[in-house]
Amino acid sequence: MTHHRLLAPLVAASMLAACGFQGADSPEADSDRAESAAQPGSDGYDDPRTASQEEARFANGKVELTLPDGVTDEMMGERTPTMLAVQVMLDRSRHSPGVIDGRGGGNTDRAIRYYREAHGLSGGSEVDQALLESLFENERGDVFRTYTVTEADAQGPFYDVPESFAAMSDLEKLGYETPLEMLAERFHMDQDFLRALNPDADFGKAGTKLVIVSHGNGAIDGEIARIEVRKGDDSLVAFDEAGDIVASYPATIGSSRFPSPSGTMDVLAVAPEPNYTFTSEGREWGPEGTYILPPGPNNPVGGTWIDLAKEGYGIHGSPDPQLIAKSNSHGCVRLTNWDAAALAKAVGQGVTVEFV
């Protein structure tokens, strides 16, 4: 089955319900920017040989982790070698743990369950020998790599993002506020974890060398034929034409007060770097009036919008990756910006989305 990927101009500008998507500026240029968080270019990254070094090993029922030069056990804190290795390998396997923080939690447990299902392992979220053997065989044990802050990184631009919609609507872009925020999202990392690995780093200075995790690029093999949004599990699961799971993501889904839709609908279009339109008419939340908020990763719908056939509803990114699957939306489906960008590259018009 072939699905057609259509960009934002096909989406009606009057779409003001639920999440309030309106459209995108310069789709071709914005597409490059929207993909940058999920698939950054090679500039700044260490060479492939260095990146492929395996710092983690699984032997005698135990994960052993060699820390990079300059990184100490004290800097790692309570983060365990096993959990960090598992999160990084899951991220590369397209079963997203959300923000990589080395601590685990509900999003990591969920990713483990779907990885196990996709690879024919027994159910559950246990980190056992079967899971570790599979992860190390399929994803290898490279956990860390290095990145050197580039001139483009240092230049930004960066923005002071206000809290009110009225003030947001006056900006040109709702971009990253700090170099740390930008880089942590690019590397799929928790900001505190990135800072812990690089306590003396100036993230806004070109030439600064950082220790980062060996994150995935988000690429999904083949096309997605069907998506399930699993409300009771705070997850989005993608299937290929054969019905096999090809990716899973933690998702923030609607609440009892602002429920997500039910039933089945199709993807209408994909919009990188969408605007966000808010109107108070017919809403039970937010300020009075109508506001068009500019695009950017700190836009309320993040860096990507996947438009669904039910008016005003979609799958989109988020300015708060650490809160994914830990809060509720106003009816739409929120993913991290990098997961939303990866999903958008593998779906097109006509892909079925079922809310279950």
Give the catalytic positions in this structure: 316, 332
How many CB atoms within 10 Å of residue 27? 17
Say what the alpha-carbon torsion angle 130, 133, 135, 141 is, to the nearest 10 degrees. 150
d(Cα 280, Cα 199) in Å, to the nearest integer? 44
d(Cα 82, Cα 86) in Å, to the nearest integer? 6
Cα–Cα distance list, 320 to 13, 100, 152, 211, 228 (Å)? 25, 14, 23, 23, 23
Angle at 94 between CA 271 and CA 276, to 5 degrees: 25
Strand pairing class (304-308; 333-334): unpaired
d(Cα 57, Cα 141) in Å, to the nearest integer? 6
Task: Write phi, then psi, for 164 (nearest 5 degrees).
Answer: -85, 145
d(Cα 244, Cα 94) in Å, to the nearest integer? 13
d(Cα 9, Cα 62) in Å, to the nearest integer? 52
Give me the residues paired with residue 252 across strands.
334
Task: Write phi, then psi, for 267 (nearest 5 degrees).
Answer: -75, 130
Helices (H), 77-188: 81-92, 106-118, 129-139, 151-155, 165-168, 179-186
